[in-house]
Structure 1
């Protein structure tokens, strides 16, 4: 039993279940062996004994049918019946030979072989007598055939049937012996199976009891240890036997008891130290609370002055923003004027281009008029050559020449006017371009003013944000200081509460019995936390921010 404690729990369970499995395998092997023997006997009966008996019986039936055919042919004497009889005899002889060959292959005993040889000999005599009768019928000797059938053939057939019956009887005897052997094998298998099953059950119960006892006892010891721990008894001792998991568990529980005992003693000592320290913390918190109140009052006054400075800087920032807005408007107007002048310049350029095109067209008109005048002159010359017949054509040519000269004169006048107008347009374009450059310089100057005002406004805004941040920081410092004052009070109260909790913890730890005595600390006198005077702080908050003077001068701050 003690050796089991040196085995792992898993090993024990494996051994126990292994024994059970081995017994089951043994029982199964015995059953399989007996079932195999029983199956061999049954197979011997069905596939050997009964098969040979059936084949011999069929051979006997075939011989009987052959004799019946001979008798029928001998009675009728008709050639058709004789031929049918001969065909039947040949078929019956072939099938009988096949059956006897199968029987011979299945015979394995000497007795069976002797009986089979007797059957073969009797069959030979029967076949010879039958063949004589067949030959007589074939030759037409019906009476002789009848005598042969009733005499020698009947005797040979009786001997043949007797040999077949002897072989069948022997096969039935063998089948009966095999059946008896099968029943005996079943009885042996039943007894062995019951015995092996009972042995397996007893061994399984024994293994179960041994393994269960080796597991439940350490578990019960562990439960007793946990019960002692629940009751605060740290002096309880646990015995660990063996090297298995449960022994390791018991050793771990024993180590835990030792650690908890040392921890409880340490907690008791620490509780006494905490009680002493909490009283000192309460006294220091009272002094710190008074100093924090004074610091909060100073921060309130500083915050009020910073609010006045913030208001003044905000006003300057607003003025700078207004000036920057006016400069932006002027810049927009200048940009619009510059854009309009640009459009005028584009329009003048278009007029100048149109005048050039008109001049080109007038030049073309002058050229056409000049060519027309030449053509009219040529026509007049040709009309003069024609004499009286060309007089009318000469008049027309004269009128055409006159119109061409007037057109040329009008074109020159128009060209002069266009050139004069083009010069004026060019002069106007130069003036407009100069006006555009002037507007651009004005816009650039306004843009510089706008940029400067923007920088002033941005700087003022940055100053405002910086002062606001300083003001917020001071306000936050004031809030933090007030919170610190409240926290100091809470710390003093917490120190008192911690002392009370230390007393409660000491009482709670006292429940554990460690077997050691810890010296108790002396009583600690806790100083009273005085009420904080908030009258000065309240007065500063009630006064609020000071009112700015009319001129907003804060240089004397």
Structure 2
């Protein structure tokens, strides 16, 4: 009874020593591993979230570039169709026999220009661009009036007046220059906006690379730290346990682990320390007392499955019986009964 109380006191005092205690030592191994996996998962989720945000930012930049590129295509198409109309007006004026086909080309080009201007004005434009687009629409209305006048003059046989309107100082040229000015102004604005959008896109891409690389390195560092901490927290004490068992196999019973832990490794450490203590002080200690002739030791079994304590207790009881019989033989023979012998049937 006193021996068991002493063992419990040793276990209690091994945890009460002052000093640094790693918080991981008090967490179950399964919880540590699950926690490590959860940390990895959270890092992956964080990386995925950052990547998704960066992708959306770059997509927004690309959409902005696309929005600025669309008006450029529209303006180029308008400019091409206006040139086509001017060429067709010259052809309409000079080739009377082909006026039916040429007139259809002029009307077709005019419809394309009207459609593209309407599409341009309905697109996403800044306030300044909207003003220029309105001026373009007005210039196109003026140009259509001059175009119809030239067609009428040509139909009436007044090719000379029609040619004067198409000259460098004519009304058609003046109206067309208003169109070209508005087209070029809008092109310059859109090119500048496209350049700015491209710069924003490049900045977003560079930021995504830097941020993604930083997050990746940070996640890798945390993952390595978590892996190292978990590995060291498990493998180091296990190595100490292996060393202790090696020492026990050699008969060196004085070594103790004394791990201040509350996880499975700590429970294993306590059991190994308790076993080493029992082996050194109960088994070997009792055997030393027996060797010295002291058979007064009492060994109590720990439970019904204990094999060491009953065997040791049985050895002590056998030696006590042997000693009792030997003392009896000695006493009888000393009293004169030299024929009295020890009963060895029970040995």
The alignment's TM-score, normalised by the length of structure 1, stands at 0.46
Of 37, 54, 62, which residue of structure 2 is paired with 1:17?
A: 37
1:251-310: CA deviations, max 9, x gaps? 333444467665556535646878999xxxxxxxxxxxxxxxxxxxxxxxxxxxxxxxxx
Is 1:114–2:131 an aligned residue pair?
yes
Of 142, 152, 155, which residue of structure 2 is paired with 1:138?
A: 155
Give 1:13 deviation, angstroms. Answer: 2.5
Q: Structure 1 236/134 Cα, relative in aligned 2: closer, same or farther at 3 Å?
A: same
CA contact (8 A) 2:78 2:116 kept: yes
Q: Structure 1 103/36 Cα, relative in aligned 2: closer, same or farther at 3 Å?
A: same
Is 1:191–2:217 an aligned residue pair?
no
Of 152, 158, 162, which residue of structure 1 is paired with 2:181?
A: 162
Structure 1 runs of 4+ aligned residues shifted over 3 Å read 232-238, 254-277, 524-527
Number of equivalences: 278
* Counterparts of 1:195 and 1:249, CA distance in 2: 42
1:185-207: CA deviations, max 9, x gaps? 12222222222222223322332
Is 1:226–2:245 an aligned residue pair?
yes
1:186-245: CA deviations, max 9, x gaps? 222222222222222332233233323322232123212321332234554332422212
Of 218, 223, 243, which residue of structure 1 is paired with 2:262?
A: 243
1:7-406 matches, cutoff 5 A:
7-46=27-66, 48-78=67-97, 81-150=98-167, 151-234=170-253, 236-257=255-276, 263-264=307-308, 266-267=310-311, 270=314
* Counterparts of 1:264 and 1:19, CA distance in 2: 46
The alignment's TM-score, normalised by the length of structure 2, stands at 0.71
* Counterparts of 2:147 and 2:40, CA distance in 1: 72
* Counterparts of 1:243 and 1:271, CA distance in 2: 37
* Counterparts of 1:149 and 1:141, CA distance in 2: 13
* Counterparts of 1:54 and 1:188, CA distance in 2: 30
Give 1:30 deviation, angstroms. Answer: 2.1
Give 1:113 deviation, angstroms. Answer: 0.7
CA contact (8 A) 1:234 1:257 kept: yes
1:40-65: CA deviations, max 9, x gaps? 1122213x111110111111111111
CA contact (8 A) 1:126 1:156 kept: yes
CA contact (8 A) 2:93 2:151 kept: no
CA contact (8 A) 1:77 1:142 kept: no
CA contact (8 A) 1:240 1:248 kept: no
| Structure whose alpha-carbon radius of gyration is higher | 1
* Counterparts of 2:259 and 2:200, CA distance in 1: 61
What secondary structure is seen at the aligned counterpart in 1 of 2:76? helix
What secondary structure is seen at the aligned counterpart in 1 of 2:266? helix
Please provide the CA RMSD for this pair: 2.8
What secondary structure is seen at the aligned counterpart in 2 of 1:238? coil
Relative to its length, the structure with more helix (as a share) is 1
What secondary structure is seen at the aligned counterpart in 1 of 2:260? coil
CA contact (8 A) 1:5 1:244 kept: yes
CA contact (8 A) 1:132 1:148 kept: no
What secondary structure is seen at the aligned counterpart in 2 of 1:180? helix
* Counterparts of 1:143 and 1:94, CA distance in 2: 27
Give 1:23 deviation, angstroms. Answer: 2.8
1:486-497 matches, cutoff 5 A:
none
